[in-house]
């Protein structure tokens, strides 16, 4: 229950600050106990956001070598969330390349926004990275009021991989991992070109 309440509080604070974030519809408390750094009541948190699809969703099909499913997923995401990438172009590879470039830019802008407000996600693995550039999975996140680059939010992050100051680099790392997952659909040159947009998008947002 404590972790769910924490995620609710963090998401509301991000929303007030104008940072794209999942919102919490409700928290349902159960009667059983669960161990989370101590025993607490089990609970269910219901999140609301446009889509829960993550970078890791694409990785799943890549590692299964299921290119057909990867293409179906990518087509679905473009059709529902990135329709402007379709345009009048009949070349799927170009559509996919534009989609990936947009994801890179959205990711850079989201993390730049995090850095502006002192938000520390805590566990920035690819399965916690939204394809839409929205903050999600906030159970271990918090804020560093003094913008300490070495601040670590997660107790399990013993080496500081996801420290506040590391978040921009991890965001780019995650985009590179997504590029690998999309490599069956997008030419290497287009993937590399899209990735070069990360740093300018980050800097433009953070210093605008």
User: Nearest to residue 77, comparing CAs of 35, 122, 130, 113?
Assistant: 130
Each residue of 25-76: pLDDT tens digit? 887 877 787 776 677 777 788 889 999 999 999 999 999 999 999 999 999 9
Residue 88 has pLDDT above 60, yes or no: no
177 vs 91: which has the higher pLDDT: 177
Q: What is the pLDDT of residues 108-165, one digit of tens each?
A: 999 999 999 999 999 999 999 999 999 999 989 999 999 999 999 998 899 999 999 9
- Closest among 15, 74, 84 to 48, alpha carbons compared: 15
Ranges of beta strands (E only) in 19-177 are: 23-35, 39-48, 119-120, 142-143
Is the model's pLDDT at 92 over the cut of 60? no
Q: Which residue has the higher pLDDT, 30 or 184?
A: 184
Q: Active-site positions?
A: 127
Which range has the worst mean pLDDT, 13-27, 30-44, 97-111? 30-44
For residues 190 and 163, the answer to whether their CB atoms sit within 8 Å is: no
For residue 43, the model assigns a pLDDT of: 76
Q: Is the Cα dihedral 20, 22, 26, 27 positive or negative?
A: negative
Q: What is the mean pLDDT of residues 69-91?
A: 87
Query: What residue ranges do the domains of the chain occupy?
Result: 51-206
- Residues 154-183 have a mean pLDDT of 96
The per-residue pLDDT for 207 is 73
Count Cβ neighbours within 10 Å for each residue of 160-188 and write b for 16 or more, e otherwise: eebbbebbbebbbebbebbbebbebbbee
């Amino acid at each position: 229950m404590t972790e769910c309440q924490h995620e609710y509080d963090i998401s509301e604070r991000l929303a007030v600050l104008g940072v794209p974030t999942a919102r919490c519809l409700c928290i349902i408390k159960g009667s059983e106990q669960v161990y989370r750094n101590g025993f607490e009541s089990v609970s269910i948190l219901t999140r609301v956001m446009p889509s829960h699809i993550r970078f890791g969703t694409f990785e799943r099909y890549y590692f299964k070598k299921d290119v057909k499913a990867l293409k179906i997923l990518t087509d679905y995401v473009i059709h529902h969330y990135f329709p402007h990438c379709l345009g009048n172009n009949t070349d799927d590879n170009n559509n996919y390349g534009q989609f990936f470039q947009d994801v890179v830019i959205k990711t850079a802008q989201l993390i730049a926004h995090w850095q502006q407000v002192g938000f520390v996600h805590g566990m920035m693995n690819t399965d916690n990275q939204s394809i839409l550039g929205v903050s999600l999975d906030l159970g271990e996140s918090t804020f560093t009021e003094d913008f300490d680059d070495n601040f670590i939010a997660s107790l399990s992050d013993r080496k500081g991989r996801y420290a506040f100051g590391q978040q921009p680099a991890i965001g780019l790392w995650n985009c590179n991992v997504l590029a690998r997952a999309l490599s069956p659909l997008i030419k290497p040159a287009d993937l590399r070109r899209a990735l070069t947009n990360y740093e300018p998008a980050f800097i433009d947002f953070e210093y605008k």
